[in-house]
Structure 1
């Protein structure tokens, strides 16, 4: 006996996710509500087959000017999670039911980031579209003792953190004013790196993290010992056995001895004592091996593949949408490397 249902309300979504030992904050209703854009609808696809359960969270979006929609994932590392699933799972019935739901609801394509800490995601999605890895994420193994973890730090990082400890102290953000200060530092960071608009989250976004009961959010602050001023901060999100490094910010005048490295080190120690298993620092922008990736890789030699799932449900409609979007430049679209990497192609605004 198998069944596929769609969950949209918080109460049922929350009670379903609680059943899964392997889940991350990216799977929660609250994070979907915090993250969704105005034109996006969060859904949780739930599949039952005997004692097996699979759920897949997605955001459904309308494709402007058409009767069609597509699906994407929240920013981060979601993907499907399961109960009682093994590597020899035959996903034939699951594939048929998922395809039927997507096709009948005019959903042309699906894009989802996957979670490097959750087993069987590729087994669940086998035969559905394409899974590929654009890069890696840095993992600190919190099951090692605190000193063994530190052995993997590069020499320069150790020196840097020791120097930071003499200049800065740290504490958790507790008051609204602390959070407001962190938000201002985050915005300052985004302006400095000329981030795109989507990274300038509203203030409500940050406070909603703190309010949620579906996961725990720690904002660690760095305080300059001389001026007693808050000069940097980092947000970490915890659920089950995983800690995620989410956002950070530092005042421009303190970049020469950036306190974020100290804050990551403090969270590593804190999370180890709290008996978490994984500490994901993430990777470079878009999975690239860039300066952000190199900064994070100073903390650990352990890496996990970051994977993305792309699935075209309706090939004919997808191709028509691509042709309609790019019109006379269609030949360029199908040969342009950057555009070939963008999915879905009909949402690509790259200049050729």
Structure 2
């Protein structure tokens, strides 16, 4: 590994989380969140560079590219990206970027993918950091700085009616215990089956158990009816923000509108816990009329863009790896980055597709 001057690379969880606490970073920056990653041969790493202007803090996953001596960088599922503490000019960001690229070249890092945090406003300087930035979709945020009554008055009339219907149907919401995650996992997979979700959304049991053991500041909220859990959601809590992470519901119970009451109670709880905003995320597609996005907008009209930053650090290697990958597989997406990690359908020896 090359030597760094003012820069440091951090791998120790205690030192990592001490920096997260010191600078008040969100829960997506905690070491335990990086441990959630279902990425083979991925190592959490934090790049930190102090300067006269402040400090750059940039955690990411460094992944080996299978079958090669090369690596790439990505932020985990969720949101993150470099945080520029203090006042920074574009020139200062570009200068530190050159230092970081020296390190990347020495480590044989081919590409970099950043899912920018919609609430941190790190996208503007991130555009200087990255080769390319693209707004993928709008996401929905509930402002929690007003009173509960004011927040709920912004719900759509249909949503308010559905919340009342859930109450009439004797649906209740509570915080679940650690032993109730198995029920949520079952409902979650039923939900993914119903929506024919991509394989990457079928998280392992181990993924859910990492919430269960309390390493992350998270809660499982569940909606019950007649003593049966019929819906639930995992909520993450940072120092300032709350985040709707994953949700699930019993398809046979949707007529009781448990999700509407669940979301309303999730908003109330985040407010009680002193958070300034609850981020609900976006839709399942990039379409402006996406049904999940429309559902979330029925709780708040405040939209914040989700931006993807990408950089090809070794163009020749990137092209070779991508061509090799796509020669032997049928891509399930035409605009995946990096292209050599595009989800695929396997080709049989006769060129037939198989799952």
TM-score, normalised to structure 1, is 0.89
Which residue pairs with 1:154 in the alignment?
156
Post-superposition offset of 1:195? 2.2
User: Structure 2: how far apart are the matches of 1:323 and 1:271?
Assistant: 47
User: Structure 2: how far apart are the matches of 1:316 and 1:34?
Assistant: 32
User: Structure 2: how far apart are the matches of 1:267 and 1:187?
Assistant: 21
Q: Please give the per-residue CA displacement for 1:188-244, whole angstroms capped at 9, x wherever unaligned.
A: 21222222332222223223124345x4212111111xx222211111110111110
User: Structure 2: how far apart are the matches of 1:82 and 1:2?
Assistant: 19
Which residue pairs with 1:305 in the alignment?
305
User: Structure 1: how far apart are the matches of 2:59 and 2:203?
Assistant: 21
Verify the 8 A CA contact 1:80 1:121 in the aligned structure 2: no
User: Structure 2: how far apart are the matches of 1:301 and 1:119?
Assistant: 18
Instruction: Give secondary structure in 2 for the equivalent of 1:272.
Output: helix
Which residue pairs with 1:172 in the alignment?
175
User: Structure 1: how far apart are the matches of 2:119 and 2:256?
Assistant: 32
Which residue pairs with 2:342 in the alignment?
348
Verify the 8 A CA contact 2:163 2:257 in the aligned structure 1: no
User: Structure 2: how far apart are the matches of 1:127 and 1:34?
Assistant: 26
User: Structure 2: how far apart are the matches of 1:216 and 1:18?
Assistant: 13
Q: Please give the per-residue CA displacement for 1:266-318, whole angstroms capped at 9, x wherever unaligned.
A: 01112112221111110012544322111111111110011110011112221
Gaps of 5+ in 2: 346-352
C-alpha change, 1:155 and 1:284, in structure 2 (3 Å) is same
Verify the 8 A CA contact 1:36 1:42 in the aligned structure 2: no
Verify the 8 A CA contact 1:139 1:302 in the aligned structure 2: yes
2:17 is the alignment partner of 1:14? yes
C-alpha change, 1:121 and 1:218, in structure 2 (3 Å) is same
Which residue pairs with 2:244 in the alignment?
245
User: Structure 2: how far apart are the matches of 1:349 and 1:192?
Assistant: 20
Q: Please give the per-residue CA displacement for 1:3-42, whole angstroms capped at 9, x wherever unaligned.
A: 2221122122111211212x22111110111224232111
Which residue pairs with 2:142 in the alignment?
140
Verify the 8 A CA contact 2:173 2:224 in the aligned structure 1: yes
Gaps of 5+ in 1: none
C-alpha change, 1:267 and 1:326, in structure 2 (3 Å) is closer
TM-score, normalised to structure 2, is 0.88
Q: Please give the per-residue CA displacement for 1:114-145, whole angstroms capped at 9, x wherever unaligned.
A: 00111334315505311110111001000121
User: Structure 1: how far apart are the matches of 2:40 and 2:327?
Assistant: 28
2:96 is the alignment partner of 1:81? no
User: Structure 1: how far apart are the matches of 2:47 and 2:258?
Assistant: 41
C-alpha change, 1:245 and 1:27, in structure 2 (3 Å) is same
User: Structure 1: how far apart are the matches of 2:166 and 2:154?
Assistant: 19
Verify the 8 A CA contact 2:218 2:235 in the aligned structure 1: yes
Q: Please give the per-residue CA displacement for 1:140-191, whole angstroms capped at 9, x wherever unaligned.
A: 0001211221232111111001111222111110251x22222221122122
Instruction: Give secondary structure in 2 for the equivalent of 1:281.
Output: strand
User: Structure 1: how far apart are the matches of 2:328 and 2:21?
Assistant: 50
Query: RMSD between aligned alpha carbons?
Result: 2.5
2:27 is the alignment partner of 1:25? yes
Post-superposition offset of 1:74? 0.5
User: Structure 2: how far apart are the matches of 1:51 and 1:36?
Assistant: 35
What is the 5 A alignment of 1:16-165?
16-21=19-24, 23-50=25-52, 52-86=54-88, 90-126=92-128, 128-165=130-167
Q: Please give the per-residue CA displacement for 1:241-265, whole angstroms capped at 9, x wherever unaligned.
A: 1110011111221022331221110
Which residue pairs with 2:281 in the alignment?
282
Instruction: Give secondary structure in 1 for the equivalent of 2:140.
Output: strand
Instruction: Give secondary structure in 1 for the equivalent of 2:337.
Output: coil
Which residue pairs with 1:201 in the alignment?
203
